[in-house]
Amino acid sequence: NAGVTQTPKFRVLKTGQSMTLLCAQDMNHEYMYWYRQDPGMGLRLIHYSVGEGTTAKGEVPDGYNVSRLKKQNFLLGLESAAPSQTSVYFCASSYLASGRGEQYFGPGTRLTVT
């Protein structure tokens, strides 16, 4: 039982490049989330999903897209990376909605955009 896994763990991009961050969970959770964490700021919600095939915008969705084609996977895409997207990205999943119960986080992806 791996919990929540994220790939890659580290990545350096140049401005304008694109990439996809992969998140997988093996707990059969309905809810999945993508957050970013920056110094001096709390985790901020980018996008979330309440089930396979559904996605919704969070607090800071601009510049990101997501897909949830399979229940266990939640993908975060950066179409044209910008230095402002340098951050640590955490994926999370939960059995109940995040406001009702525990979220389980992946180990994070450290992204630098130069």
Partner 1 sequence: RKEVEQDPGPFNVPEGATVAFNCTYSNSASQSFFWYRQDCRKEPKLLMSVYSSGNEDGRFTAQLNRASQYISLLIRDSKLSDSATYLCVVNSGGYQKVTFGIGTKLQVIP
Chain contacts with partner 1 (rule: CB under 8 A): 35, 40-45, 48, 50, 56, 58-59, 90, 96-103, 105-108
End-to-end CA distance of the chain: 36
Strands 10-13, 19-25: pairing is: unpaired
Under 8 Å CB-to-CB from 99, ≥6 apart: which residues? Answer: none
Q: How far is the CB of 15 from partner 1 (least distance, A)?
A: 25
In the structure encoding, which two tokens stand for residue 19, read together?
A: 């990439």
Closest approach of partner 1 to the CB of residue 27, in Å: 14
Residue 14 or 42: the one with the smaller Cβ distance to partner 1 is 42
Q: Minimum distance between the CB of residue 100 and partner 1, rounded to whole angstroms?
A: 5
φ, ψ of residue 85 to 5 degrees: the values are -95, 5
Q: Smallest distance, Å, CB 32 to partner 1?
A: 12
The CA–CA distances, whole Å, from 83 to 41, 49, 58 equal 17, 26, 20
